[in-house]
Amino acid sequence: MGKTVKKQRPINLDLQTIRFPVTAIASILHRITGVIMFVAVGILLWILGLSLSSADGFSQAAAMMDSFIVKFIIWGILTALAYHAVGGIRHMLMDFGYLDETFAMGKMTANVTFVITVVLSILAGVLLW
């Protein structure tokens, strides 16, 4: 039986020296923020349900929204939503062929996505506090 692969293939299992390109980081973050939002939908629906349950429930929900930790969680959710939405629009622009599918364009638009997310995240913080 003939050999199908070379014995001396380049291998790097040292995680300390592996450097991800910015496009890979953008892609991983898109998945992570998608999962964060999946969990966030449950949290937000629960708060909405509480606020609509009764006048007392509304006061409880309003009081909860005043605490720093809840505001911080909501800020995290809004930041994840901002990244996922901007990254999602980037994906769709690529899928519809409006952006060249080159590494250079991928890197540039990934960086643009990060910058827009930082701006939206700061705006979300200003709105919440």
Q: And the tokens for 1?
A: 């039986």
Q: And the tokens for 92?
A: 């769709």
Q: And the tokens for 111?
A: 């960086």
Per-residue DSSP letters for 41-102?
HHHHHHHHHHHHH-HHHHHHHHHHTTSHHHHHHHHHHHHHHHHHHHHHHHHHHHHTTSS--S
Minimum distance of ligand HEM from residue 22's CB (angstroms): 16
Residues that bind ligand HEM in the complex, under the rule CB under 6 A: 30-31, 34-35, 37-38, 41, 84-85, 88-89, 91-92
Q: Consult the annotation and say whether 84 binds a ligand.
A: yes
Minimum distance of ligand HEM from residue 20's CB (angstroms): 15
Measured from the CB atom, the residue of 35 and 119 that comes closer to ligand HEM is 35
Minimum distance of ligand HEM from residue 98's CB (angstroms): 13
Task: Output the known binding site for heme.
Answer: 84
